[in-house]
Chain A
Amino acid sequence: MRMKKFINDPKRLVPELLEGYALAYPNKVRLRGTNTVVRASAKTAGKVRLVTLGGSGHEPGLSGFVGLGMLDYSVAGEIFAAPGAPKCIDALRDACAGDESALLIVLNHAGDVLSANIAMEAVARENLNVKMVLTEEDISGPVGDRRGLVGCVAVYKVAGAAAEQGASLDECFAVAERMNRNMRTLAVAVRTATHPATGNPIFELGDDEMEIGMGQHGEAGTGRMELKTADETAEIMLEKLLDDLGAAPGDELLVMLNGAGATTLMELYLVFRRVAHLLDAKNIRLVRSAVGEFITTQEQAGFQMTIARMDVELIRHWDAPADTPFFAHL
């Protein structure tokens, strides 16, 4: 099927979308150069800056979470492709200007990690005070080689809250790492998306199939099966996540459901309902939740389910004020 999208020049997708985004939220964010989204008003001096990087085409991710209590810089790459090291280095230098420090939060994907590592070496040579956290919570991969999916938003939230409260870089890093270690994500896809620059589908999936373990860009997972109901899908995914996390009765969990772009909130609420019932039956406490679209893949249908074991401090940071275009706790 021919691509049906409202676009202009496919080569100018990223600068045009970022310009539009910044124009839409002028009191919250602004563009720095062509590819980096920063806060409209900079953070107070002395507080740790949060920087992230990642490909475009996943709106509102990742730049949707720039603002009070979360990110300070989001360096955007091309469609589904990491930004190069030069723009990451530029953002880190700017973040650290005036002897500030920065926490770089990177989702584990080959291109993102390459650029981040090159940038980290460059800023280390300049003696900038930067630490890096690599999110890798997708349980469809083997331990040690897991992708970073929507769980990064929870990391932005808790580390951003810590930074806003004046925590040191080491403390922000520790909070981010704890959330990172405590969270697990699994994705399911039921329909492909078209790559907006090429017009081609990013993967093929039969009309009556779904695939569990699908990555953010149509990378294949391991569990291709017949399409299931919301309840059945919720159960399959939650069981795998709980098992991987080693969740036990009495644990307190955050649950996030992230729509891939074409899955309706109606469907997400059906899934969430079942998740809540199942947790209740297991005496696992559902203490916080977030359901919506955080990181999408164009018009792909499916969702990501994230669970995270919370503690008093993580809950406090989760509840702290945030005011970004796509995540707000006021």
Chain B
Amino acid sequence: MTVSLSKPMLARMFAEAAKLVREHCEELSRLDSIGGDGDHGTTMVRAVAVLEGDIEPANGASLSEMLARAGWSVMGVDGGASSALLGTFIAGMGDIELGEELDCERLAASFEAGLRAVSNRTKARPGDKTMMDALAPAVEAVRVAASSRRPIAAALKEAADAAAAGAESTKHQVARHGRAKYLGEKTLGHADAGATSIALIFRGFATAVAEP
């Protein structure tokens, strides 16, 4: 049973997330074409590619430094709000001292730090049909699991489920932030592209640590 996440495991999580985002690239772009300009998939593929490349299990940086560097690299793909916010989340995860390995409690604290960083940058809150609708419940699920001393694999599975449910819930929401807000009611019935990609990333995290 996985009790803590090492750097190689974190690298595997990001690799799995990247794989899932790549597999769903066209779907993400299609969702974005409803309210945006239809490039969310290609933007996220570029973002997760640098994430994968920058989480280097062998380098000497601390976990916090590694996450900060990876987050800034994601911001550097120049993909508008999507890469800026994902990068802010990843870099924010390193805002607290993480030591060499993450147990479930530290993982929850790290995700919470990332979510705080994102919340400081955007006025979007859950219910506004943005990535926050997947991110906030995912982080909350890890916190709940950590508080009840559940293992990391279970925590990430629950986070992935919560993010997926959050993304699904955006189908019933009207966009209030980002480019899609100008469409209002027309966005009803379609999931938000950003929330969907966050759900994929958390599903990738869960897959990487799933017990066989």
Contact = CB atoms under 8 A, between A and B. Distances in A.
Q: Which applies to chain A's interface (DSSP): helix, strand, loop or mixed?
A: loop
Contacts of B84: 82, 84-85, 111, 114-115, 118
Interface string A196-211: 0110101000000000
B39 A79 contact: yes
B80 A78 contact: yes
B38 A110 contact: no
B122 interface: yes
B87 interface: yes
Contacts of B121: 114, 117-118
A325 to B, nearest CB: 22
Interface string B94-132: 000000000000000000000000000110000000000
A7 B95 CA distance: 42
Contacts, number: 106
B78 A77 contact: yes
B80 A111 contact: yes
Contacts of A219: 36, 179, 182-183
Given A219-B183, A220-B183, A111 B39 contact: no
Contacts of B33: 200, 202
B77 interface: yes
A197 B75 contact: no
Interface in A65-119: 76-87, 109-112, 114-115, 117-118
Contact of A77 (B80, B87, B177): B80
Contact of B75 (A55, A85, A215): A85
Nearest to B75: A84
Interface in A119-143: 140-141
A220 B182 contact: yes
Identify which of B37, B81, B122, B178 gathers the most chain A CB atoms within 10 Å of its CB: B37
A86 B85 contact: no
Nearest to B178: A110
B83 interface: yes
A202 B75 contact: no
Contacts of B78: 14, 35, 76-78, 81-84, 87
Contacts of B182: 140-141, 215, 219-221
Identify which of A80, A109, A110 gathers the most chain B CB atoms within 10 Å of its CB: A110
A240 interface: no
B86 to A, nearest CB: 11
Contacts of B88: 114, 118
A119 to B, nearest CB: 10
A288 interface: no
Contact of B80 (A76, A81, A141, A221): A81
Contact of B37 (A110, A118, A218): A218
A202 to B, nearest CB: 5
B37 A115 contact: no
Given A115-B84, A198-B42, A110 B75 contact: no
Nearest to A55: B80
Given A195-B37, A218-B37, A110 B179 contact: yes
Contacts of A118: 75, 84, 88, 121
A271 B125 CA distance: 42
Nearest to A79: B39
Nearest to A34: B78
A80 B38 CA distance: 10
A218 B186 CA distance: 14
9 contacts: A78-B78, A78-B80, A81-B79, A81-B82, A110-B177, A110-B179, A111-B80, A114-B121, A114-B122
Given A82-B78, A87-B78, 15 more contacts: A77-B79, A78-B79, A81-B39, A85-B72, A85-B87, A87-B76, A110-B80, A110-B81, A114-B121, A118-B75, A141-B182, A197-B39, A200-B33, A202-B38, A221-B182
Which 6 A-B pairs give the minimum distances between C-beta atoms?
A: A111-B80, A81-B80, A84-B75, A111-B81, A114-B84, A219-B182
